[in-house]
Amino acid sequence: MKNTLKEKIAHDVVEEEIHHVNNPVLEPPMIVKNYLNQVTHYSQNENSFFFHDGSATVEVKVVSNEIIRVRLAPHGSFLADFSYAVANSDQHVAVFKFEEDEQSYRVSTNTVTCLIGKSDFLISFQDRDGEVYTEDHSPMHWEENPDFGGYYVYCSKTNEEHEAFFGLGDKPTHLNLRGKRFTNWNSDTYSFGFGQDPLYRSIPFYIGLKNEKAYGIFFDNTFKTYFDFGAESPEQTSFWSEGGELQYYYIHGPKMIDVVKRYHELTGTNYLPPLWALGYHQCRWSYYPDTKLESLAYEFRSRKIPCDSLYLDIDYMDGYRCFTWNKRYFPDPKGLISKLASEGFKTVVIIDPGIKMDENYWVFKEGKEKNYFCRRGDDYFMEGHVWPGRCQFPDFTNPAVREWWGGLFKELVDDGVAGVWNDMNEPAVFGRGTFPNDVRHNYDGYRGSHRKAHNVYGMQMVRATYEGLKKLFHKKRPFTITRAAYSGTQRYGAVWTGDNVATWEHLRLGALQMQRLSVSGMSFCGTDIGGFSGNPDGELFTRWLQLGVFSPFMRAHSAGDTREREPWSFGEYYENINRKFIELRYKLLPYIYSAFWEQSRYGYPILRPVLMLEQESGNINREEEFAFGDKILVAPILRQGVSTKRVYLPKGRWYDFWNHAPFEGGQEYDVETSLETMPIFVKEGAVMPEAPVMQYSSEKAIEIMHLKVYHTDKKVNSFLYEDHGDTYAYESDVYAEKKFTVSGDQGKLTITQQVDGLFKESYSDYEMVLYGLPFEAKSVRVDGVITQLSTHTDGFPKLVVSKEFKNIIVE
């Protein structure tokens, strides 16, 4: 919709009346949408350009070669340039230029041009060839908010007929968001359903795909925001907010994966987790008393089912008071945790933001004395019921409160706790959902009501936890997860999708939510394996566990009123399959850890929808297969009773993970898949590292690294990352980043290796098995020296080479 004359007149009249009315207005003032109209003049300050229309100003700022930020100040003054999501909105500013012709102003980098229409204030973004990626449907507009001050702010873009939209965090729906409308307002949504909105997280970032070219829009606004992808009107995609600033980043592609990478440049990447956090986690509400944990540990080890960590849900606390122990259930926490640790288990404990109002409880007393709890508009404390009963809540948007909170973990850390699970931090309040809007927050000195701080409350809680643990652990990496999140939370924690249900529909939802979270900047994600509420049967649990192997965060969890949910709970038949898949996770750990390094260091997402591998419109609706890292494609079984699955393989050659048979991509295959197996494919040219099966990730040093090498006619790079697994020495270059390059033809295969970093592995050799050779290997030269081939147990050619090798030629 364009700025109509009628609205313009209404706007002028209202402004007129306001000037002359001194008496209280009896009728509520008419709310009018004000639209930018035309650019009257402009000014420049370094990499920022300011365009004016009367009192309104728009800033267009060159952030990097591919990122441009747009902000609107309806009455000339911008809000403070502060963001919880974006650590650095002034990146390495590339070369840029400013031009003007009769119709428009043009702010260009080497890659992208932002055009601002002189006569209509419409903004568009083009690539170097003049192809428009996205353009305004109507000029940016706003509405005065008489109750709270500030403005409702709006932006709407024109939809191309076949344009598709992705991202937006944990929305429980199909990957393509076209035709739907969403709200971002962190909500505790126990047993949520397909399509329910909003859920626990707010990630106001989407990727548009137009003519097979991608761009991103990140609307960095923490208030309640809305996104409409052609639901109200098919021709437009709009986003708006109930307050704050209209401030968004245009992120250029044209590849989807680069949009995600650049979104990470703005909002940060996942911290590099300790290796153990990538193993299998066993959780339940709740495992208690201490003997229960001991017997769980015994079951895992005696049944030889690998597991790295056991969880304590709320019942470990004394009356749900955070940072305390229920001494009846856990008389000697330190003793228990060290006993578990001696068997290779890390202990992770839950923590909630609600602090019980109890004058004899030190945390409450301290928080009260220091004035750290949130207060209402009229200065009453924010009080509400959660697990412990009546509670007050720390204001995590206050840096001093975060510091205090971080320190509260001291005793738990001294007891040996290795990770913290941050829950109920939307924040959840029984009965009324969350805090009322008038609650006040420090907002790192920029102040705000709960309208502004709600969506970042959970993020700031896990930030406080993460930063506190980091200090307390000194040289070890902590592990944290959080339920609520805002853009940028990946810097402080992993996420899980909250209280799902033990149904096949939820299993499918989980696969969608994880892919969506991953393209929205939250790669370290997982679902409650088996479903939180309800009872899965053996088949559903096993299929879920199979998806779990390819979930960046792999944890089984269940509600207290359900039947037990351990890998052996469904009888021996299922237990054997479950063991096999958990073992698979452990074999893949070197590959998974390398994918986390790629995420943490370079910003590549861990789960990648098929569309991201092959950006063609025919793939827009493919959502049941996805890549896990850059070399594995999986098609988890998401339906009951299935024994074959139709799987699409993107172009190029793929190898069946189980029997190494080659498949030509660019087509669909019916893949046999009994419950004992699932479709997994490896990309041609891959060098897949495999660790021996261990009962926990650090059980023993790797004696020889197993590398599976897959033939290709192309030239393909693979990466293997290794370090201590739990220290920060990698920050001082004590890591090994190995680049393997495989190239070949019908009679030859060459493998080269380049190593970067100072880390020294525990092993000295690689055992390499060669798959898919289209010729019979007769000679092998390793760095020029003839070397013997032998045969691996699976019948494929094998050689053992020094880990220092540089070049291998197989002919």
**Pattern of binders to ligand GLC over 65-104, x per CB under 6 A?**
----------------------------------------
The active-site residue out of 120, 308, 499, 630 is 499
From CA 744, how far away is CA 780, in angstroms rounded? 14
Residues in region 451-490 near ligand GLC by CB under 6 A:
483
The active-site residue out of 66, 197, 290, 423 is 423
The answer to whether residues 442 and 453 touch, using CB atoms and an 8 Å cutoff, is: no
- E-strand ranges in 46-94 read 48-53, 56-62, 67-73
The pairs formed by 256-259 with CB atoms below 8 angstroms and a separation of 24 or more are: 256/166, 256/207, 256/209, 256/214, 256/519, 256/611, 256/612, 256/615, 257/604, 257/605, 257/608, 257/612, 258/66, 258/214, 259/207, 259/214, 259/215, 259/216
Contact with ligand GLC (CB under 6 A) among 313, 630, 723, 737: 313
From CA 383, how far away is CA 595, in angstroms rounded? 43
Q: Indicate whether 314 belongs to the interface with ligand GLC (CB under 6 A).
A: yes
From CA 353, how far away is CA 363, in angstroms rounded? 12
**Pattern of binders to ligand GLC over 247-286, x per CB under 6 A?**
--------------------------------------x-
From CA 415, how far away is CA 405, in angstroms rounded? 17
* Closest distance of CB 557 from ligand GLC, Å: 6
Instruction: List the alpha helices (DSSP H) in 535-609.
Output: 538-549, 572-587, 589-597
* Closest distance of CB 497 from ligand GLC, Å: 10
* Closest distance of CB 350 from ligand GLC, Å: 6
- E-strand ranges in 404-543 read 419-422, 440-441, 448-449, 479-482, 485-486, 494-496, 525-526, 528-529
Residue type, 42: Y
Phi, psi of 86 (to 5 degrees): -100, 115
Contact with ligand GLC (CB under 6 A) among 499, 575, 624, 723: 499
Q: Indicate whether 350 belongs to the interface with ligand GLC (CB under 6 A).
A: yes
Residue with smaller CB distance to ligand GLC, 415 or 423? 423
Q: Indicate whether 170 belongs to the interface with ligand GLC (CB under 6 A).
A: no
DSSP for residue 429: B
* Closest distance of CB 489 from ligand GLC, Å: 16
Size of the site for ligand GLC (CB under 6 A): 9
**Pattern of binders to ligand GLC over 531-560, x per CB under 6 A?**
--------------------------x---
* Closest distance of CB 455 from ligand GLC, Å: 18
Q: Measured at CB, which residue is nearest to ligand GLC?
A: 285
Closest C-alpha among 74, 46, 40 to residue 60: 46
Q: Indicate whether 220 belongs to the interface with ligand GLC (CB under 6 A).
A: no
Other CB atoms closer than 10 Å to residue 538's CB: what's the count? 16
* Closest distance of CB 499 from ligand GLC, Å: 5
**Residue 761 annotated to the active site:** no
**Residue 161 annotated to the active site:** no
Residue with smaller CB distance to ligand GLC, 285 or 759? 285
* Closest distance of CB 426 from ligand GLC, Å: 10
Q: Indicate whether 498 belongs to the interface with ligand GLC (CB under 6 A).
A: yes
Contact with ligand GLC (CB under 6 A) among 423, 624, 625, 726: 423
Strands 528-529 and 554-556: parallel
From CA 779, how far away is CA 226, in angstroms rounded? 63
* Closest distance of CB 277 from ligand GLC, Å: 17
Q: Indicate whether 290 belongs to the interface with ligand GLC (CB under 6 A).
A: no
**Residue 423 annotated to the active site:** yes
How far, rounded to the nearest angstrom, does the alpha carbon of residue 388 sit from its chain's CA centroid?
30
Helix axes 572-587, 589-597, angle to 10 degrees: 50
The active-site residue out of 188, 395, 426, 625 is 426
Residues recognised as catalytic: 423, 426, 499
* Sites of contact with ligand GLC (CB under 6 A): 285, 313-314, 350, 423, 483, 498-499, 557
